[in-house]
Structures are given as C-alpha cells and as structure tokens.
Amino acid sequence: MAASREQFGSRLGFVLAAAGSAVGIGNLVGFPVNAAKNGGGAFLLMYAIFVFTICVPVMMAELAAGRNSAKGPLGAYASLTNNNKFWSIAGWLSTITPFMIAVFYTVITVWIFEYLYNALTGDLAELAKPETFGSFINGGNIFIHLAVVIGIVNLILVGGVKEGIERSAKILMPALFLMLIGMVIFVLTQENAMAGVKFYLIPDFSKLTGPVVSGALGQAFFSLSLGMGILITYGSYMDKQSSIASSAKMVAIADTSVAFFAGLMILPAIFSFNPQTDPTELSDSSVSLIFSFLPKIFLALQGSIGYFGASVVASVFFLLVFFAALTSLVSIIEVPAASLVDQKGYSRKKSLLVLNLGMILFTIACTASFGMVGWLTEFVVYSGANKSLFDVVYDVFYDTILPLNGLLICLFVIYRWQKHNLDAELETGDDGFKGSFLERYMHFSLGTFIPVILALIFINTVAIKFF
Ligand code: PFF
C-alpha cells in the first residue's frame, strides 16, 4: 500500500493554489488587450458567460476525475478505465502538454524576471529602448536568470503540496491582489485615465465577430488552466469534505476578477500616457505590450512622479506579473512531477530532478531559438513561414492540443467514466448537488455542446495553423 496522498490543508488553500495557477500572464496582459480591441464591455460580458457556462463544467470534470482517482492525469485516465489503451493515450497527452507548455512559459517568465531585475535597479531608460528586448533575450545573463527562476519554482515544489504549493500561494496570491488593487488606484488617479475606463467598459457589440467569439472562449479556457492536466492533479490533492462545485466557482470568480482589474490597470494607463491612443492598433501580442509598450509608460512617468516613484511603479508591475507567472509555473510542473511519483514510485525530489534535467534542456533550446542558434530559429516551415522551435512548441501544444485535451476530458467523464460516477464524486462533500440544476446542466453541456465546440476549435486551429 502506497503512502497516503498528500492533500491541501484547507479549502481556502486549494482555492488559492488553483487561482494561482489560473491567474497568469493570460489574465494580466492577454485579457486587457483582447478586451480593448474587441468591443470592451461586450467582450467582457461574453468572456464571463463562457467562463461560467463552458469553463466551470470542464473544470469540475477535471477536478472530479482527479479527486476520485487520487492520481495525476496519467494515472487517472488509466486507473478509471482499467488501463484502456485509448484513454491511456489521453493521459499521456495531458502529461506531455504541461511539460511542453512549462518550457515555453518558463522562457517568458525569465524575460519578466529580467525586466523586474532592471526595474528594481532603476534603469527605466534602458528598459524603454526598442533594442533592449532583443538584446536581453539573446544576452548571456538570460541563463543566470533562467537558473534563478527554475531554482525558485523548485524550491516551492520540493516542499510538497501543503508546505510548498499551498503555502506559497497563501503568500503570493494575496500579495498579487494587493499590488493589483494598488496599481489600479494609482492609474485611475492619473490624468486622462477616465478615457481608458470608458473605452474599456462601454460595450461595442458590433465587434463580436466569429473569430472574436472563438478567441474569447480560447482565452477563457486557457486562463482557467484547463486541458493542461493541472486541475486533475490539484483535484487529486483535494479532501473529500470540500465541494468541488463551489471551489470551482470561487476559482473562476477570482480569475475573472483579476482579469477585470488588470484591464482597469492597463487601459487607463495607456490612455493617460497617450490620450490619442487608438486601441485597435495595439499589438495582439502580450509580449510586445509588456516588454516594449509599458516600459515607455514607466519611463514617461518619471516626468510626473519622479525617478524613484516611476521605478517603484515599474517594479511593482513586474513583480505582480512575476508572481502570477510563478504560481502558474508551479502548477504546471507539478503535473508531470506527480505522474513520475504516481507511476514510477519516485520520491518527489527524484522526480523533480529528472524532470528538471529534461526541462532545462528544452528551455535552453527554446531560448536559443530566438537567434542564438540558427537552425533552432528556422526549425521548420509550415503555413508558409519559417518557424522557430519556440513557435512550434507554442503552435502545437498551446494552440492545438489544449482544446483536444478539453474535448477528451468531456467525452471521458460522460461516456466512459459515466455520469453516475461523476455525480457520486461531485456529490461528495456537497449536500446540495444531487438533483440540482448544476448537476443536470453538467450532464447536458459536457455530453453535447461543449465537446462539439472544442472539437470545432481544434479542427479549425489545425486547418489554419498547419495547412
Ligand atoms: N492560466 C494561466 C494564464 O492565464 O497565464 C495559464 C497557464 C499557462 C497556467 C501556463 C500555467 C502555465 F504554466
């Protein structure tokens, strides 16, 4: 008999850890830009509808499969189907995907750390130069900063579920929230900020075209960390007294609130910096917003609040994004780490060691694919373009396999594991669930339109990206 599985110490601990996973670069930067370009309040409304009608049921399905099997995705799919070959492949997909996403998310987290480091040392003029980003991502320091980021993540993970993941979330998440609120208050008191607020919140329903709608769903799905095996793994550490439904709703509310406040921080800041801003011209990419646009705003702030004040604001911003990225990274690396513990019987330390060797190799290769190593920079050609290794990892795992994993978990809980088992798990620790509207809605949505929508997104992405 294996030693009993570690669990989160409290429901609040679970909610903070899962919210830590959910709140990431996607909320803090991806959401505001998307909302600004695509109809403001109209986008926000549609996003919130997707979160609660599509994402929360998928999240509950993942948590239920994890808690019932007491395993990460690899073990969960295998043990709940008596090692069925097809479903074991789904388990593998949900284990390899987080590994690869962790690789590319680590690359971006290291860049954030580089900016944080420079903001703390006060060199905002350097950060705001157009050539800085290119020289940072190809500079030798990047490997030192990579070691620091991987070191911090592992320091948290080696502590285990309660003393590592939960304890760090209990510190980092409230700190993140306070910094975010502080920044929102600061930004709203700047001149012209209200123009940004208006732009952000006044709905423009004419912008809601097909691609915008599917982009909003993709954003919500990604933002709640679905399809990455994370919630199956975190579910396996949940106690049987907690209600899965109310925990999932709390995570969704926390995640959506952070996205909302991030919009209230970023858009008014942009308008206050340049009242003539046309947000439809903002770049699509979160990366260029964080690393090229915002540093210019921080530098301009020196004119109004002085050198020291501007450095504080820039440092708080990058620290906020760094904390968000860190808690997301912790959650995603826990997935393959838990699988090694479950399947191979490794200790937590040994499994982290093995995993890190692989991750460091891939992360260095992806880092080098921005120009340091020619063939990694032009790794392969598809869709008529030269793709770097980083692009390939992003296109394949992030954009394509995530919706496929989501589709598989829906089909799995309803048609293979079956509704009565799903219900029994969701009723555990939740007296009100049996016979509720939510129970009927879960059966209907997960068995019909949610998998159809995810299948369409998957097919569409494959067609657009690879043909
Ligand atoms: N919810 C995260 C975000 O919005 O950034 C998604 C995520 C990405 C979680 C990468 C974990 C991760 F490693």
What is the residue with the minimal CA distance to atom 8 of ligand 1?
A: 328
Question: Ligand 1, from 110, 222, 287, 398: best to mutate by most atoms within 8 Å of Cβ?
Answer: 222
Q: Which residues pair with 380 in a beta bridge?
A: 387
**ipTM, 2 dp:** 0.95
Intra-chain end-to-end CA distance of the chain, in Å: 50
Provide the pLDDT for residue 274: 80
Q: Is 229 in the pocket of ligand 1 (CB under 6 A)?
A: no
| Ligand 1 center–CA 366 separation, angstroms | 18
Residue 319: name the closest of 170, 181, 176, 126 by CA.
176
Q: Is 78 in the pocket of ligand 1 (CB under 6 A)?
A: no
What is the residue with the minimal CA distance to atom 3 of ligand 1?
A: 24
| Ligand 1 center–CA 175 separation, angstroms | 18
Residues 389-428: pLDDT tens digits?
A: 989 998 999 889 999 999 999 999 999 999 999 999 999 9
Cα separation of 53 and 225, whole Å?
Answer: 16
| Ligand 1 center–CA 43 separation, angstroms | 20
Q: Is 27 in the pocket of ligand 1 (CB under 6 A)?
A: yes
Walk me through the domains of the chain, giving residue ranges and CATH numbers: 11-369 (1.10.4160.10)
Q: Is 331 in the pocket of ligand 1 (CB under 6 A)?
A: yes
Q: Which atom of ligand 1 is nearest to the CA of 331?
A: 11
Strand 385-387 relative to strand 380-382: parallel, antiparallel, unpaired?
antiparallel
Cα separation of 236 and 68, whole Å?
Answer: 7
Q: Is 329 in the pocket of ligand 1 (CB under 6 A)?
A: yes
Provide the pLDDT for residue 280: 65
Provide the pLDDT for residue 8: 97
Q: Which atom of ligand 1 is nearest to the CA of 27?
A: 4
Q: Per-residue pLDDT for the chain (467 aa), expressed as one digit of tens each?
A: 455 789 999 999 999 999 999 999 989 988 998 898 899 999 999 999 999 999 999 999 999 999 999 999 999 999 999 999 999 999 999 999 999 999 989 999 999 999 999 999 878 999 999 889 888 888 878 999 999 999 999 999 999 999 999 999 999 999 999 999 999 999 999 998 999 999 899 999 999 999 899 989 999 999 999 999 999 999 999 999 999 999 999 999 999 999 999 999 998 998 888 877 776 666 666 777 888 888 989 999 998 899 999 999 999 999 999 999 999 999 999 999 999 999 999 999 999 999 999 999 999 999 999 888 989 999 988 888 889 998 999 899 988 999 999 999 999 999 999 999 999 999 999 999 999 999 999 999 999 999 999 999 999 999 988 88
Q: Is 26 in the pocket of ligand 1 (CB under 6 A)?
A: yes
Residues 303-348: pLDDT tens digits?
A: 889 999 999 999 999 999 999 999 999 999 999 999 999 999 999 9
Cα separation of 58 and 210, whole Å?
Answer: 22
| Ligand 1 center–CA 192 separation, angstroms | 32
Question: Ligand 1, from 95, 104, 234, 332: best to mutate by most atoms within 8 Å of Cβ?
Answer: 332
Q: Which atom of ligand 1 is nearest to the CA of 333?
A: 13
Q: Is 25 in the pocket of ligand 1 (CB under 6 A)?
A: yes
Q: Is 219 in the pocket of ligand 1 (CB under 6 A)?
A: no
Q: Is 55 in the pocket of ligand 1 (CB under 6 A)?
A: no
| Ligand 1 center–CA 363 separation, angstroms | 16
Beta carbons of 391 and 453 less than 8 angstroms apart: no
Q: Is 96 in the pocket of ligand 1 (CB under 6 A)?
A: no
